[in-house]
Structure 1
Amino acid sequence: MTLIEKALEFESRTMSNMSTSDRVEASREAKSLILSLNEIFKESKDPEIMDLMKRLTAKKRKIEKRLKGLPTE
């Protein structure tokens, strides 16, 4: 499975009913995929790879927002 296929599979994965450890693992996997795709993007400058990285980053932010929880005052 290529890196782009892994990223697309991660993007299509559902994130409901995840435990905290699953969210941490998903966040780390997203970070790893984004950094790997960035290395490819540096050489190819393919706009499709940039769009994929942006979508993965948005999903990663949602996961991390859920991990941090509601702000307490």
Structure 2
Amino acid sequence: MDLIDKAIEFENRKMRFPTTSDRILASREAKSLILALNEIYKETKDATLMDIMKRLTAKKQKIEKRLKGKPLTAA
């Protein structure tokens, strides 16, 4: 399955995104991989697909947290 290989490659890729646009592209790529894996999961109910989706979601959340930045402190 080519899609699973892409997801594992994305997961093992280093999380070094120097620019905001790189982070946005990585977040979008993670989202598209998760949605594509979800469509396959709906048909097969394969537990390994669910594990891959969970790991990708965690990585995507870290990227999005970095995109949002630090919250401003109320003075």
Relative to the length of structure 1, the TM-score reads 0.95
Matched, 1:66 2:43: no
Q: TM-score, normalised by structure 2?
A: 0.93
Aligned residues: 73
Residue ranges of structure 1 left out of the alignment (5+ in a row): none
Shift of 1:16: 2.0
Match of 1:23 in 2: 23
The aligned residue for residue 3 of structure 1 is 3
Runs of 4+ in 1 over 6 A off after TM superposition: none
Kindly report the root-mean-square deviation, in angstroms, between the aligned alpha carbons of the 2 structures.
1.1
- Structure 2, unpaired ranges of 5+: none
What percent of counterpart residues are identical?
70
SS at match of 2:15: coil
